[in-house]
Copies of this chain bind each other. A is one copy, B any other.
């Protein structure tokens, strides 16, 4: 696709030279051949430093676009970005890809489906009713239990164990909403990267990134029924207990412990070695390492204990 086609799709006018567009990305990560967008005036500060080849933008702030970058002016940049995202979505499966490669010593059930273009490492166990999507890569010695689904373009490391009915790489929860309340899907054209020595329980869901990657780092332990949102990063050796949830674009440092049914909001950074008790609700970034928290709103666990004592008095 080239810039002229894109301008036509989203209804923008351009006077600049045409060029081939290779993808969509954030203001921060876009390259010269990629399109970015500004959906919110709080990102104005990132426009000037963006390397994007073109930016979908509202008329009122178009003057922030640096020279050498094309302003694609539209009324509703986020909505138009959503429309455009569909054009960059690869097909779910692709018959033109080569047959899947299966490494030496790997056992793939005849009732599993490994899509064309996938690569399975050595000594893996791929059980019945597993699906591994196009171009996904599974490392050596990894076990996928029955009914695991791995969407296309994802990567799972060596020595991983993924339990039954878990989903890796389903679409992140992304859409634009019009003034009258209709939604338009933002295609999630990123992926999931799971590093080595990760174990993930059953019926857990790890969403693919909208751009770039959702990352589960080395040695992480994830329990059953856990939600990991798109573009988040779970640090090395972190532990996510059953029914906990990580919202989109949040970054956990190493050895963070999320208790059962706890959750963290989106776009936060959590310091390494933070521990969150069961049912904690985290709505702000945590900067100091090594502390233990409880409650919703969140507070240090020792303060939460004091609060409960006060509340007990209130009852008397």
Query: Interface residues, chain A, CB within 8 Å of chain B?
Result: 92, 109, 111, 113, 125, 127-129, 131, 143, 145-147, 149, 151, 161, 163-167, 170-171, 173, 175, 177, 181-183, 185, 199, 201-205, 207, 219, 221, 223-225, 227, 229, 236-237, 239, 241-243, 245, 247, 254-255, 260-261, 263, 265, 273, 278-279, 281, 296-297, 299, 303, 306-308, 310-311, 314-315
Chain B residues closer than 8 Å to A92, beta-carbon distance: 125, 127, 143
Q: A254: which of B113, B143, B181, B255 is its contact (CB, 8 Å)?
A: B181
Q: Other than A92-B127, A113-B128, A306-B315, give 14 A-B pairs with Cβ distance below 8 A.
A: A129-B149, A149-B165, A164-B167, A165-B165, A173-B223, A175-B199, A181-B237, A203-B204, A207-B224, A223-B227, A227-B242, A243-B263, A307-B314, A307-B315
Given known pairs A146-B113, A247-B260, the reply for A219 and B164 (CB within 8 Å) is no
A205 touches B205 (CB 8 A): no
A147 touches B147 (CB 8 A): yes
Residue of B nearest to A133 (CB): B146
Residue of B nearest to A229 (CB): B242
